Amino acid sequence: MEYSNILYKVEDDIAKIVINRPKALNALNALTVKELAHAFGDAKENASVRVVILTGSGEKAFIAGADINEIKTNLEKGPMVVRGEFAIKGQRLVSTIENLGKPVIAAVKGYALGGGSEIVQACHLVVASEKSRFGQPEINLGFNPCWGGTVRLPLQVGRKKALEMILTGEMIDAKEAYRLGLVNSVVPESDLMPTAESYAKKIIEKSGVAVRLCMDSILEGLEMSKTEALSNEANALGLAAATEDSMEGVLAFLEKRIPVFQNK
């Protein structure tokens, strides 16, 4: 697939996806959503990809939200079009990111609003520049967040803070996002991509099987009872123990050397 609104490349086990609509503050229209879904699908199936880094081009925004002109067009076609063309397709994209089976690291500079904030919530690690801003301003347009913000945001920042952000539509800065646990690191803009790449390289050094099992245990466990989640965790250990990587890790520790994982 040829891309018009994103850039996509794979290098050194890392897939880099850049939303490339800087003049529109990287707003998400239907074509951009389609291209992102395709790129993430490729990253999932590509065995050479271990980690994905997602960022936006330009200086002002990671993703400033949805394309308002396109929303207006959908509104004119009726509420079911808005639901299907905007909400459902957006939710599918965000769920694809969350359930990719490979770590997705968001490198955020500038605004991450609306769908941009919801994509941040779905990413597994988030590095933010000092000047980044996060928010769910949909209520200012007479809408509710509809790409998972009413579900994921309360789990990540707490119910009261999520209600405050969603009901007022006000933004929070990077330091507050870090304090709330929405982002992992806050760095100067010049350190944004190097920090994201550093996270990626650390993960790539680990067993790919173990990384996937850890991610699955956490994400699946959030939707289970405590008893079910603990059983799921034990099952994951059984799968890990059956791999060559688990023996390599133990032997490397005992032999005081760096493990060489084969991801099998």
Active centre residues (catalytic)? 118, 138
Q: Name the H helices within the chain.
A: 30-45, 68-77, 79-81, 89-98, 115-122, 149-157, 159-168, 174-180, 192-204, 208-221, 226-241, 244-254
CA distances from 171 to 43, 178, 206, 225 (A): 31, 13, 36, 33
Tokens of 41: 């699908």
Phi and psi for 15 in degrees, rounded to 5? -95, 130
- Within a 10 A sphere around the Cβ of 234, how many other Cβ atoms? 10
Tokens of 102: 């490979």
